[in-house]
Chain A
Amino acid sequence: MTGYNNSDAPEESAASCLRVAGVAVGYGDAPIVRDVSLDVPDGALTVLVGPNGSGKSTLMKAMARVLPVRSGEIRLDGRPIGAMPTREVAKRLALLPQGPIAPEGLRVRELVAQGRYPHQSLLRQWSRRDAEAVEAAMQAADVIGFADRPVSELSGGQRQRCWIAMVLAQETDILLLDEPTTFLDLKVQVDLMRLLRRIAKEDGRTLVVVLHELNVAAAFADHLIMMQDGRILAEGHVERVFTAANLREVFGLEANVLRDPASGRPVCVPVVTPDADVMSRIAAQ
């Protein structure tokens, strides 16, 4: 469906499924998100970064119709998302909120099965199709090994994989994940991002991820968005966006941007005043 060029309606097929047009979110005189426009690239991993309070989570909540927009419009498949039945949205777009907490004692399988909610109704309760989707999602997120254990007993990284399995079981083309790696060890963060990249690459799904860790964002993003003070300051391919100038402007961070020889991805190293002790030792060698 995506990327298929239909000559009858080139405008339509070229448009991205999830579009944000001149959106403001929040209350009072100073909305948290102001005049943001964004075409989310289909089938790619988009990463949203920005300092605390820059409005990245708020923007994501509006994109997931958890928060209403004050002005502007968010369109899913060309239709205003706020006017669509919420269950219909849930078949196209899944949300993993920040820091979700599973009810005490809920087992991994039961959590993942909740992802089938929008596909069920009073008349259509639980089908073979649901069971297969849950199984496939648990396989993809690699949680089969502890499928029958309570979620609350798992480590932070395992738990987060369970939640990712839940949104995968929802079988949507678009997945929005709000800080899925925060408070996790670096190794666990990298493992999770590998999983997310695989989902975008192999299944051709559209992922939007809010991240805190700049170098993790630079290492995995196809498309990088930098937000500050409720606005998008830079957006595009990582190469063009992840620059020392942008880091200074958006984060107020003085950093050198180097290149990882193995992946070719940019890496930032904060500038620190040279330590006299270290410098003299280097000079001595």
Chain B
Amino acid sequence: MTAPSFRPVRRPGFAPLLALAALALAFAWHVSVGARTIPLPVVAEALLSYDASVFEHVVIVDLRLPRALLAAMVGAALAVSGALMQGVTRNPLADPGILGLLIGASFAVVLVVGVFDLAAPALIPLVAALGAVIAAMAVWGIAAAAPGGAMPLTLVLSGAAVTAFLAALVTIANLLDEQSFEQLRVWMTGSLAGAQGGVMLWALPWFGAGLVVAFAIARQVTALAMGEETATGLGLNVGRVKALALFAVVALTAATVAMAGPMGFVGLVVPHVVRLFAGQDYRQIMPWSALAGAGYLLVVDVAARMVLAPVEISTGLVTALLGAPIFVWLVRARL
């Protein structure tokens, strides 16, 4: 009767069900909003009993559904990779944006598509992954050369430097040749509007592989978040877990950049909000980050299309517009 009943993994209860319901609602809302608002019952009808002769059903399935799926996937990928980077590096400011992976991936895509004119959909996620890895190595290398080595502060600073440098290069290229760079707008500012079906399809394996690996190493990341020596003492193979985490982060970053370009602040902010209620166990943080990231980007994308309708704001701008104040609040409240 007095046997210890404590489980470090909290019993799920109703919270995940409620969260999934909220996500489904955000998804449906996202689909219903557009140039012409389609009522929610029609959205449900189109999804459950599709009729090709109904114009609204066609709009929903061909145009709006892909965009909603894209928003959910990109949000989940960014939030999970942010959570992973924060845990493995023990750096609360780590995320694919701040450490230069996003700009590295999008710069590589812009370079290859814009300058070398290679736009094969299969290549784009691969190019994005290479760009992310090279940028990550550059950021780490610059930080490691600084006095004190690759500490959280030096990493953030060198990430900012690399980001500013690559962003300037992209802007210069854009000014030199505005016409051909119009087709590259997605990869330069971050947008959910220009997703091409081909690229999305080729990004899916990267997204899936990254997500699976991230979830599989969640228990190890919890141990690693207590420091490398402690984790080694607990029997963790630190080198292997770090390599797997790097793979997952690069794959997820590559998938999001290929599909939607760089989206700032999602990976940084969402995991911190998740930790407020899910605690410090990454077996909880990973799935909650995926859910919250997906929901957050769905809502942000609705805002991007509604606030100045019929003009649409780039979703990447809105994630930063909304993310920055949330981050300021977090810094004051938690960090």
Q: Is A61 an interface residue (CB 8 A)?
A: yes
In which size bucket is the chain B interface? 20 to 34
Q: Hey, which chain A residues are within 8 Å of B4, CB to CB?
A: 131-132, 134-135
* Given A90-B233, A167-B233, A110-B7 contact (CB < 8 Å): no
* Given A90-B235, A105-B280, A117-B235, A126-B229 contact (CB < 8 Å): no
**Count: A-B pairs, CB below 8 Å:** 94
The smallest C-beta distance from B166 to any residue of chain A, in angstroms, reads: 31
Q: Is A47 an interface residue (CB 8 A)?
A: no
* Given A66-B229, A100-B230, A109-B6 contact (CB < 8 Å): yes
Contact B8 A86 (CB under 8 A): no
Bound-state CA distance A126–B11 (Å) is 12
The interface stretch among A2-10, A91-99, A213-221 is A91-99
The smallest C-beta distance from A111 to any residue of chain B, in angstroms, reads: 8
* Given A95-B230, A103-B225, A126-B235 contact (CB < 8 Å): no
Contact B235 A113 (CB under 8 A): no
* Given A104-B334, A105-B279, A64-B233 contact (CB < 8 Å): yes
Q: Is A201 an interface residue (CB 8 A)?
A: no
Bound-state CA distance A135–B3 (Å) is 9
Question: How many chain A residues touch the partner (CB < 8 A)?
Answer: 42
User: Mask for B203-237, Cβ within 8 A of A = 1, else 0?
Assistant: 00000000000000001001101110110111111
Bound-state CA distance A168–B335 (Å) is 30
Bound-state CA distance A110–B230 (Å) is 15
Q: Hey, which chain B residues are within 8 Å of A122, CB to CB?
A: 219
Q: Hey, which chain A residues are within 8 Å of B226, CB to CB?
A: 100-103, 111, 114
Q: Hey, which chain B residues are within 8 Å of A102, CB to CB?
A: 226
* Given A110-B280, A113-B8, A131-B6, A97-B233 contact (CB < 8 Å): yes
Q: Hey, which chain A residues are within 8 Å of B219, CB to CB?
A: 117, 120, 122
The smallest C-beta distance from A273 to any residue of chain B, in angstroms, reads: 41
Bound-state CA distance A95–B234 (Å) is 8
Bound-state CA distance A46–B229 (Å) is 21
